A and B are shown apart, each in its own frame.
Chain A
Amino acid sequence: MIEEIRAHVAEKLQELDGVIGLRRTAEGTAPCLFREGDDLSQLELDPRYPLASVVSLLQKRYPEARFGIAARGCDARALVEMAKREQVDPDRLYLLGVVCTAEEAEECHCTDPAPDPAPWPQAEVIGTPVEGAPPNPIVAAYEGTSLEERRMFWQGQFLKCIKCYGCRNVCPECFCEACALEDKVWVEPGVLVPPFPMFHLIRAMHMSGRCVACRQCELTCPAHIPLTVLYDLIRRDVEDLLGYVPGADITVSPPLSLTLEDAPLRMELE
């Protein structure tokens, strides 16, 4: 599979200004913009990395350039949400979709492991799409837990937070220049464990209608806080209440910024 992708990238580099992927060297693996003539044997797919943010960065830096990206399903979903918020220009992007394996999908509880080429003007998908893995069973079992249990669980988890901002920094959907988590009105500076329920709940609310379930926050977290359980619950609520699945359809606007006529709420108002 990786050979097929490398060959494809080599071919595409003749018409593109560069392809964004991961590059493995003796020092380690990092995101890289591969140009024509570069050693493509260094192009890698592992580990998972939020390349969508790199696309945004480079497109803003080079407003005329046409780039390609070797994107997994989650990268593609992240790019969809970023395009809606004008962080990515789909017309200047070639999406080379990379299909995750069934094991990778399982690891991520990913229900949608194959990139969807449909939203993109230029896209191809390499590999045979696998079935989505079942969603995280904790989310389905959540109704059966008491408030007390939830409180004990999350307060214990959040107590581990060292406020490294890794969850925010790695998130492809966190691109605001002014971040509420850096505003001392909401998150007191110099206090190491952020006081419950600030920080994590602020971030969770800001993820509603945005989180594409790429799991990067949880993979990055040095304290191993299971953030995606919380975000999966929010994703479920946003789908149930507003009928919106982030990353699914590039033509649908985020519902929280629309009126009730344009994006109705599927519940009775008091």
Chain B
Amino acid sequence: MSEPFEPRIVAFLCNWCSYAGADNAGIARIPSPANILPIRVMCSGRVSPEMILRAFRSGADGVLVLGCHIGECHYTSGNHRTAKRIPLLRNLLGYVGIHPDRLRLDWVSSAEAPKFAQVTQEFVEAVRTLGPIAEEVGV
């Protein structure tokens, strides 16, 4: 009997909001899944398609990009670029046979610790049903 599949998720978290949101979730003892590997970035706009693709190539079953709500970006409009880029990349993943739902963009402020827990839990469950990435990228 093989081990049950546990998804590995790379989460790019904005320094100014979602990273603090994740931190606050921990402080408030709100459970969030251990499948998440957080990577702190200065802005969700910093998350280039290369970073996301490399995460998939390196064996991430899902990639989560969390940024500030629109209108609340520390750099005014960094997340506007993310908002445009991620839907395009999701479609592109689908065009070459990688399930678009392996990439998710959401907005989590530093005050939204419960939302951080909820989004990560939802995403882990969604990716769990999709199965391991290895079948889709052939690693």
Contacts and interface: CB of A to CB of B under 8 A. Distances in A.
A127 to B, nearest CB: 36
Interface in B49-77: 49-50, 53-54, 56-57, 70, 76-77
B95 A142 contact: yes
B94 interface: yes
A241 B56 contact: no
Contacts of A149: 97
Interface residues of A, number: 42
Contacts of A27: none
B77 A201 contact: no
Contacts of B106: 270
A266 to B, nearest CB: 10
B38 interface: no
Contacts, number: 108
Nearest to B85: A256
Contact of A260 (B50, B53, B80, B139): B80
Contacts of B81: 256-257
B137 A205 contact: no
Q: How many B residues are at the interface, by size bracket?
A: 20 to 34
Contacts of B23: none
B115 to A, nearest CB: 11
Contact of B49 (A151, A202, A241, A269): A202
A108 B5 CA distance: 46
B117 interface: no
Contacts of B91: 233-234, 237
Given A147-B99, A260-B70, A201 B87 contact: no
Given A153-B97, A204-B92, 7 more contacts: A183-B50, A197-B96, A230-B96, A237-B91, A237-B92, A265-B87, A269-B83
A154 B97 contact: yes
Interface of B: 48-50, 53-54, 56-57, 70, 76-77, 80-81, 83-85, 87-89, 91-99, 105-107, 136-139
A150 B105 contact: no
Nearest to A208: B88
Contacts of B53: 186, 197-198, 201-202
Contacts of B89: 205
A201 B105 contact: no
A134 interface: no
A180 interface: yes
| Smallest CB-CB A-B distances: 3 pairs | A151-B97, A205-B49, A150-B97
Interface in A146-198: 147-155, 180, 183, 185-186, 195-198
